[in-house]
Structure 1
């Protein structure tokens, strides 16, 4: 009985200690964001969005050359989207969001551990290689999604037929 009581006390104390761990400070999170080049990644995201927008426009044109008026409309739309993205995804906004999310997710000790790791050779390699890895992953996932579209369309078609027959 004493062993059970002692075990419960240890468990409760460990839970209390864990829940009382200090949240990460704004300063340590800013250091982590700087070390991991988060602002550079955000800027690269803007570039990727612009490239995707250009690809979508080219696909929509289907090889046709737009008229002067169409080209002007395309340019206006691209400029408006770019301005919106720069405003909505400005580093000042993203940094505030990251600080809030990191504070909610990590303790000061955990952020300190990440900072230590990212200062190592392996950590620096992860920082430099992760964006390329993520980009390649996204490209492959997009390819997988594209390949599955016919199957999804068939499932949707079958569902529509089933719903139609269920209504009769």
Structure 2
């Protein structure tokens, strides 16, 4: 009987511990983590890199477009740039980041991550992350060239109509 009581007590305590660790993360704690990890700055830097890649690809495409069509192409690209800046701004994306974090991480995980990113190793990771992004962006740029080539062909067909 004593063993049964100890087992029941242990099971009850462990269930309580599991419930405690699986609490959904709060919006405030996620926003704090995003601040600690400088997510906004990294996101904006990534968007700037993406814009540079698009601009470089656009310049290459412009050289292949007949001069009389270049004005239309520039106008379309300016409109695309405006759409990207409006739809992909941090102000619009932040709430989606928070929602994804809420659906993905528990409160305990967010707390642990926040604690880690305040350590020397965590701070080092944050500082080095832009370099990682820059290097992966270079790889993405190669892929972007292929995509822009396809986009260029599509635009030429549309303009020819």
What TM-score do you get using the length of structure 1 for normalisation? 0.66
CA RMSD of aligned residues (A): 3.1
- 1:166 corresponding residue in structure 2: none
How far apart, in 2, do the equivalents of 1:140 and 1:46 lie? 15
1:131-151 deviations in Å (ceiling 9; x for gaps): 2113313434766x7xxxxxx
Higher relative contact order (CA 8 A, sep 6+): 2
1:76-95 deviations in Å (ceiling 9; x for gaps): 12321111111111222211
Task: Say which SS state the counterpart of residue 23 (structure 2) adopts.
Answer: coil
How far apart, in 1, do the equivalents of 2:111 and 2:16 lie? 21
- 1:82 corresponding residue in structure 2: 81
Which 5+ residue runs of structure 1 have no aligned equivalent? 146-168
- Cα distance, 1:74–1:14 mapped onto 2, change above 3 Å: farther
Count, aligned residues: 138
- 2:18 corresponding residue in structure 1: 18
- Cα distance, 1:48–1:141 mapped onto 2, change above 3 Å: closer
Query: Structure 2 matches for 1:1-168, cutoff 5 A?
Result: 10=11, 14=14, 17-18=17-18, 21-61=22-62, 67=67, 69-140=68-139
- 1:157 corresponding residue in structure 2: none
What TM-score do you get using the length of structure 2 for normalisation? 0.68
- 1:152 corresponding residue in structure 2: none
- Cα distance, 1:104–1:13 mapped onto 2, change above 3 Å: farther
Note if contact 1:28-1:111 (Cα within 8 Å) is conserved in structure 2: yes
